[in-house]
Every structure is written in structure tokens, then in C-alpha cells.
Amino acid sequence: MQCNPKNKRLVKINKECDKYFENKYTHGGYECGDDGKWSLKCIPSYCDIGYMFDPENSKCIIDYCSIIIEIIENIIYFY
């Protein structure tokens, strides 16, 4: 299968790559190679809920907006 080498954010998701990332909330897959074919290089591309992907630094960071929403929902629920 071919891929678009002009789009370096294109990733072929593969759960096997998750073990290469520094935490359990970062996920990704194979990078598109310069030759237009999928490489075996694992790169991060998305995060679990509560985190958001920072493409400039290629890592997951805390999504403070989702934390605030969760706190508000819990306050409303317990009220």
C-alpha cells in the first residue's frame, strides 16, 4: 500500500508501536517514508482522552479544558 510522502502527519495506526512511547496515553503508528511507502518507524500521533497531541513536539500534553469540564460535571452530579 502506498502513502503520500508530502504529508508527514499521515500515520498508519498500529498498536504494536505503542510500546515505544514514553507513557501509556500516547498512541501512534508507522510513518510515511520519503519513497511513498510505509516505513517501520513508529511515531506518535494521538492521545487518550484527557490529553491532546502537540504536533510541534510530537508528544501528548494534558488537555486542561477536558479536566475543567470533568470537574464541572462532577460538581453538578454531586450537587
Output b/e per residue, 35-69; b: 16+ Cβ within 10 A.
eeebeeebbbbebeeebebeeeeeebeebeeeeee
pLDDT of res. 62: 93
- List, in sequence order, every residue forming a beta bridge with 52; answer none if it has no partner: 61
Which residues neighbour 76 within 8 Å (Cβ) at sequence distance 6 or greater?
A: none
Q: Where do the structural domains in the chain lie, given as residue ranges? A: 11-78
Q: Is the pLDDT of residue 79 over 80?
A: no
pLDDT of res. 8: 84
Query: Mean pLDDT over all residues of the chain?
Result: 89
pLDDT digits (tens, 9 = 90+) for 34-59: 999 999 999 999 999 889 999 999 99
Q: Is the pLDDT of residue 70 over 60?
A: yes
